[in-house]
Every structure is written in structure tokens, then in C-alpha cells.
Amino acid sequence: MFKIVSKRPLNESGLEIEFVIEAPLVAKKARPGQFIIFRLDEYGERIPVTISATDPEKGTVTIMVKRAGKSTRMLHLMEVGDCLADVVGPLGHPTPMEGLKRVCIVVGGVGTAIAYPVAKGMRDRGIAVDMVAGFRSKKYVILEDELRACSVNFYPTTDDGTYGEKGFNVDKLRKLLDGGETYDEVICFGPLRMMKMVCDATRPYKIKTIASLAPIMLDGTGMCGACRLTVDGETKFACVDGPEFDGHLVDWDGVIARSTYYEAEEKEAAAHVCRITGGVREHG
């Protein structure tokens, strides 16, 4: 069993919550860009989520989880002292940072949580990071202080202009590139459609662009093939070959179509989360 040792909302919307969980085996080894799979209880799904931070001394792993389907809703209802049935990891390849000097990280929404350890890892290695962080509105902004601390330049944007520049993060990225900024690499974390737009924006500039893909993963060890995608005409598995891929070579339409496959079921299941018992199930 894996105990929740702390829990805090990341912004006033309450949509994104940070959990610190005891998982010593994972904490010992995890590097930026890797993920875990958790399972709430015997009846739960296996849910992949990127690791935000680790404390090898304390043996804890930090994850930031957006409320979406049934499992994430149930997780949000769990409290400090409650236990998850399973936490397995670290999975996937760490983000490669070799040879990079100047990088632009483009994040959107909950992708911010995934980007944070990567940005921090890059800063620690002396890589100059510019960060473009897009949110729907001011109340959805997360991790601002942490991200600022990792970046040379920090450019927040909001769709409604309530904070930072009004517009999408990809618009800001385009402005930077048009204005003559150059980067060894652009890395994007966020919704699939956003990452596709980022890749489209950087293509004319021929800047290598890495996208972090977490489509439907089931076992996270390369066994089921559920997370397959086409990269440069080849079938790859996000969990073992990724989760990061060259965004200019990804078949985005295929990835986006596949990611919506269980949407209807998830919506229905999420509607069935009991608000009274929450994470505690009535059976079993």
C-alpha cells in the first residue's frame, strides 16, 4: 500500500491537486520525464501520471492530478493517510538533455505539472529555459513561482486575458520565433491538440520539437500495445519507446483519434462517482 502523505490544491479552481505519496522504490530512481502508474484499489483502473518531483530521502513521489474521469475524481476525494493500492514506476525514458544549451518549454494546462520537473532538471544542468505557459484563465494557473524559478524568461498566457498575455501559448511561441529567438529545442507538454499546434508552429523554423505523449496506457511496460502510435511511419509504444517523441514525426491525427476512444465510457463512469463515499467503495 502506498500512503498519501500530503495533499494540496494547485490553484483556486480545485481542478488540479498535488499529492505526495510514499513510494520509496520509485523515488529512488525517478528522473524528469518519467511516469508512474497508480491504481486506487482492487477495482481501480491503471492510471498513468507523470512524476512531478521526488524525495529519495523520504521515499516520496509527487504527482499532480487533474480531475477528469472516475479514477481521478476518486483520487481527489482521498485524504492524507489514505493509501493507494499500487504505485509502479518509474516508467518510460527520462527526458534527454544531452548537448542542449537553450530550450523553450511550451506548456498548457495540466501539462505544466509534467513540465516542471523537466524545467527544473534543465536548470540544474545549466540549460537556459524559456517557458511559455498557457492557461484558460487566471484561476487555472498552477506552479507559477516554481516555473519562474526555473526559467530565464517566463511568459504566461491566458485565453481570456485575465493573466499574462491574452491568447494561446502557441501564439506567444510564434511571436518569439518570428521575433528572432532561437532555441536548440522546443519541448511541449499539454493537451494533444495544443502539442500538434506547437509542432506545426516550429516546423517552418526547423527547430527540433519534442512532444510528451501520454495516450491511453494500460500496463506501462510495453505489453498491451494500447498506447501505440505512428512515428515516422513506424508503430511505437508510448510507454516503452516514449513518452517523448519527435513531434514533427508523430501522426497527430491518429494519436488524437485514439485518445478519445474511451471518452464516452469515462464520462458515464465519472458521473457515477458517489459524492458521499468518494474514494471508499461500497462493495469489496
Partner 1 sequence: MANMRMDKNPMPEQEPLVRNRNFDEVALGYTPEMAIDEAKRCLHCKEPKCMEGCPVAVHIPDFIALVAEGKFDEACDVITQTNALPGICGRVCPQENQCEGKCIRGIKGESVGIGRLERFVADWHMEHGHKDGPPAIPEANGHKIAIIGSGPAGLTCASDLSRRGYDVTVFEAFHKPGGVLVYGIPEFRLPKAIVAKEIEKLTYFGVKIVTDAVIGRAESIDELFEQGFEAVFVGSGAGLPQFLHIPGENLLGVFSANEILTRVNLMKAYLPEYDTPIKIGKKVAVVGGGNVAMDAARSAKRLGADEVYIIYRRGMDELPARKEEVEHAQAEEITFKLLNNPVEIVGDEGDHVTGIKVVKMELGEPDATGRRRPVEVPGSEYIIDVDTVIIAIGTSPNPLILSTTPGLEATKKGGIVADEATGATSRAGVFAGGDAVTGAATVIKAMGAGKTAAAGIDQYIKSL
- Name the minimum Å distance from CB 90 to partner 1: 6
Taking CB under 8 A as the criterion, which residues in 47-76 touch partner 1? 70-71
How far is it, in rounded angstroms, from Cα 225 to Cα 235?
Answer: 10
Compute, in degrees rounded to 10, the torsion defined by CA atoms 125, 131, 136, 138: 90
Residue 18 engages partner 1 in binding (rule: CB under 8 A)? no
Helix (H) or strand (E) holding 158: strand 153-158
**Among positions 8, 14, 43, 274, the unique one binding partner 1 when judged by CB under 8 A:** 43
Rule CB under 8 A: which of 139-198 touch partner 1? none
Phi-psi region of 227 (alpha: psi -120 to 50; beta: other; left: phi over 0): alpha
User: Which one of 16, 86, 185, 244 is in contact with partner 1 (CB under 8 A)?
Assistant: 86
What does the per-residue mask of binding to partner 1 show for 236-275, with x meaning CB under 8 A? -x--x----------x--x--xx--xx--xx--x------
- By CB under 8 A, is residue 130 in contact with partner 1? no
Rounded distance between C-alpha atoms, residue 159 and residue 165, angstroms:
8
Per-residue x/- marks for partner 1, 201-240, CB under 8 A? -----------------xx-xxxxxx-xxx----x-x--x
User: What's the maximum distance between 2 C-alpha atoms anywhere in the chain?
Assistant: 60
143, 136, 85, 140: which is closest to 118 by C-alpha?
Answer: 143
The C-alpha angle with vertex 10 and arms to 6 and 13, in degrees rounded to 5, equals: 125
**Could you tell me which stretch among 20-28, 102-110, 175-183, 206-214 binds partner 1 (CB under 8 A)?**
20-28
In the bound state with partner 1, the residue whose beta carbon lies nearer, of 130 and 241, is: 241
Minimum distance between the CB of residue 16 and partner 1, rounded to whole angstroms?
Answer: 21
Q: Least CB distance from residue 91 to partner 1, whole Å?
A: 6
- Distance of closest approach, residue 59 Cβ to partner 1, in angstroms: 12
CA angle 137, 17, 136 (to 5 degrees): 15
With respect to partner 1, which residue has the nearer C-beta, 28 or 148? 28
Residue 52 Cα distances to 61, 97, 188, 252, angstroms = 8, 17, 15, 25
> How far apart are CB 132 and partner 1 at their closest, in Å?
30
CB of 234 to partner 1, least distance (A): 9
Find cell 458521499 and name the residue: 276
Among candidate residues 141, 67, 155, 50, the one with its CA nearest the CA of residue 105: 155
What is the residue type of 278? G
Name the DSSP class of 139. Answer: G
Q: Does 89 bind partner 1 (CB under 8 A)?
A: yes
Cα separation, 132 vs 108, in Å, equals 8
The minimum distance between CB 39 and partner 1, in angstroms, equals 6
Residues that bind partner 1 (CB under 8 A): 25-26, 28-29, 34, 39, 43-46, 70-71, 85-91, 218-219, 221-226, 228-230, 235, 237, 240, 251, 254, 257-258, 261-262, 265-266, 269, 281, 283-284
